[in-house]
Amino acid sequence: MLSAQERAHVAQVWDLIAGHEAAFGAELLLRLFTVYPSTKIYFKHLGVCPDEAQLLTHGQRVLEAVGVAVQHTDHLRAALSPLADLHAQVLRVDPANFPLLIQCFHVMLASHLQGEFTVQMQAAWDKFLTEVAMVLTEKYR
Ligand code: HEM
């Protein structure tokens, strides 16, 4: 559970992303597929080098889901339930991939926000994204 201050840090960063979900999401996926090529096996339908339109479309979906999570930090399980069913039961994404995506998320934030991305913001986002990943992977059990 995030503290009030951690929630404030998450919301502050989200205000800078909101409205640019496709661009941030595309960069997130590009970093993920390039830095950790093993993640690409789940996205065979995107082609070997996914084109920008494909990255933008899926990136927007992923970041919009993160935006929903930002609005429901105290009720993540309920807010993300259909997405958890999808990742666990339909897509069967290995949970080991989630920390890789979180790593890319931090780098994406740092590259855009630079000095504005404080240590406290990184800590709050790490905790928040880890909670999101836990919810998206817990239905495996
Ligand atoms: C689909 C969010 C992590 C693989 C999706 C969708 C969303 C989403 C919103 C689209 C759902 C729909 O179309 O109804 C997230 C979030 C994540 C996350 C918020 C973590 C914070 C991952 C990871 C992988 C992954 C780590 C694998 C490396 C996929 C795949 C699809 C998908 C293969 C289906 C793509 C398609 O049908 O074109 N995800 N995801 N996701 N996700 Fe995730």
ipTM: 0.97
- Would you state the structure tokens that stand for residue 128, as one six-digit string? 């928040």
Which CATH number describes the domain made up of 4-140?
A: 1.10.490.10
User: Which of the listed residues 62, 81, 90, 139 should we mutate to test ligand 1's pocket, taking the one with most ligand atoms within 8 A of CB?
Assistant: 62
Name the residue among 129, 133, 120, 116 with its Cα closest to residue 9. 120
Quick check: 141 pLDDT over 70? no
> Could you read off the pLDDT of 44-75 as tens digits, one per residue?
887 777 788 999 999 999 999 999 999 999 99
Q: What does the domain layout of the chain look like in residue ranges?
A: 4-140
Q: Does the beta carbon of 101 lie inside 6 Å of ligand 1?
A: yes
Backbone angles phi, psi at 13, to 5 degrees: -70, -40
Quick check: 87 pLDDT over 80? yes
Predicted TM-score (pTM) of this structure: 0.96
**pLDDT, position 120:** 97
Q: Does the beta carbon of 98 lie inside 6 Å of ligand 1?
A: yes
